[in-house]
Homo-oligomer: A and B are copies of this chain.
Amino acid sequence: MTPAQTFPFKPFLSDNAAPVHPRLWEAMRKADEPDNPYDGDALSAELDAAFTALFGRECAALWVATGTAANCLALATMCAPHGGVVCHREAHIEVDEGGAPGFFLHGAKLMHADGEGAKLTPESVVAVIDPIRNDVHQVQPHAIAITQASEYGRAYSPAELAALGAFAKERRLGLHMDGARFANAAAHLGGSPDAAARAASGPVDSLAFGFIKNGGMGAEAVVLFDPEAASQVRYRRKRAGHLQCKGRYLAAQILAMLDDGLWLANAAHANAAAQEVAAGCADRLLHPVEANELFVHLTEAERAALRAQDFAFYDWGANSARFVTAWNTRPEDAQALGKAIAAL
């Protein structure tokens, strides 16, 4: 990535750069009353039921401050320190989490699979794990981690998830989903909030359900469909310094997001903005646009030209750039970007 931009700018740098949604501010202010510390408050107590209703199957949900923590806490329940987690070679947990899985999983190994659009398939996992000798000299796979939407903004379809779930079950591997942009994948798949959430999560054992990139301030949810795992994560969250003193402000954000499907509406907005941009640069796209990220072929000179017009974005290798839309991206900005690229 190139050094970050000076603001103000036309904001396609990152969905992390977007502000907090007004309804979350309201919810946090409403939570600004005395209540029990940590996760003993009334709002935190609502999480399990809220997510169980959303997904239509029993689960536990815990707030944490980051997707990194959410992913690693979940993975630690399904991969022993001497085991391995198969993930895509370009997965965020491999490339951009500063070695956090090594920390939370006490030295477990990430095993690198390939796959188009940074997505895994049973076949691409097989290609990694079948050559592993079943002896103690080689680390054995314990789990699979996928990203929904993927690092290239691609969504897994329900059929693809079902296939991975069946494969994981057959091989007795855990299946975790990094959902930093889960909402964007769900919005791509469509339907009501419930239907979209179920379609996008499929049969995973755990999900890091991201809210921060989607209008939150500092709360993600670790969703655990295995009760034993949930109990373990409660202890591990504290041990990792992630049990915040005033959890009610995190719970408030998450509940506000779930309320009336705000999470899905925000993501649908961002996805639509991405489509506006895509309309102007279809021939330059490195990946189909299914969520809120665009990877666009652009030379250095072209990128400079766009930056001269105040568009902010990260370089992506030598000849392309990444643009990200967010819950607050203005349609006119998205159109302007699309036109600017088309005009290059």
Shortest distance from the beta carbon of A32 to any chain B beta carbon, whole Å = 4
A308 in the interface, Cβ–Cβ < 8 Å?
Answer: no
Chain B residues, CB < 8 A from A240: 69, 100, 103, 240-241
Q: A35-B7, A106-B107, A239-B99 are in contact. Are A212 and B137 (CB under 8 A)?
A: no
Cβ proximity bits A213-239 to B, threshold 8 Å, 1 near / 0 not: 100011000000000000010111111
A5 at the interface (CB under 8 A from B): yes
Most chain B CB within a 10 A radius of its CB, from A97, A213, A246, A249:
A246
Q: Which 9 residue pairs of A and B lie closest in terms of their CB atoms, listed nearest first?
A: A102-B107, A69-B241, A16-B37, A98-B238, A68-B241, A136-B238, A16-B245, A4-B36, A99-B139
Query: Is the CB–CB distance between B98 and A107 below 8 Å?
Result: no
Q: Is the CB of A243 within 8 A of B136?
A: yes
- Which residues of chain B are within 8 angstroms of A171 by Cβ–Cβ distance? none
Q: Which residues of A, 32-50, contact B by the 8 Å Cβ criterion?
A: 32-38, 40
A108 part of interface (Cβ distance < 8 Å): yes
Residue on B nearest A71 in the bound complex, by CB = B241
Least Cβ–Cβ distance between A171 and chain B, in angstroms: 17
Q: Is A339 in the interface zone, CB < 8 Å from B?
A: no
Q: Is A109 an interface residue (CB 8 A)?
A: yes
Query: What residues of chain B lie closer than 8 Å to A38, measured between beta carbons?
Result: 16, 137
Minimum CB–CB distance from A331 to chain B (whole Å) comes to 17
Chain B proximity of A148: nearest CB distance (Å): 18
The quantity of this chain's copies bound in the complex is 4
- The reply on A255 being an interface residue by CB < 8 A is no
- Chain B residues lying within 8 Å of A217, measured Cβ to Cβ, are 28, 246, 249
Stretch at the interface among A17-25, A186-194, A295-303: A17-25
Distance, CA A34 to CA B135, complexed state (A): 21
> Can you list 9 A-B contacts (CB < 8 A)?
A25-B29, A66-B245, A69-B240, A69-B241, A84-B99, A99-B107, A136-B235, A136-B243, A218-B245
Interface contact A243-B68, CB-CB below 8 Å? yes
A27 at the B interface (CB under 8 A): no
Q: A80 on the interface (CB 8 Å rule)?
A: yes
The distance from the CB of A280 to the nearest CB of chain B, in whole angstroms, is 22
A146 at the interface (CB under 8 A from B): no
B11:A34 contact, CB within 8 angstroms: yes
Name which of A137, A217, A241 has the most chain B CB atoms within 10 A of its CB. Answer: A241
Contact across chains for B212 and A246 when beta carbons are under 8 A apart: yes
Q: A100-B241, A241-B68 are in contact. Are A17 and B36 (CB under 8 A)?
A: yes
Cβ of A30 to closest chain B Cβ, rounded Å:
11
Inter-subunit contact B34/A100 (CB<8 Å):
no
Residues on the B chain within 8 Å of A258, using CB: none
Contact yes or no, B35 A66, CB < 8 A? no
B246–A72 CB distance below 8 A: no
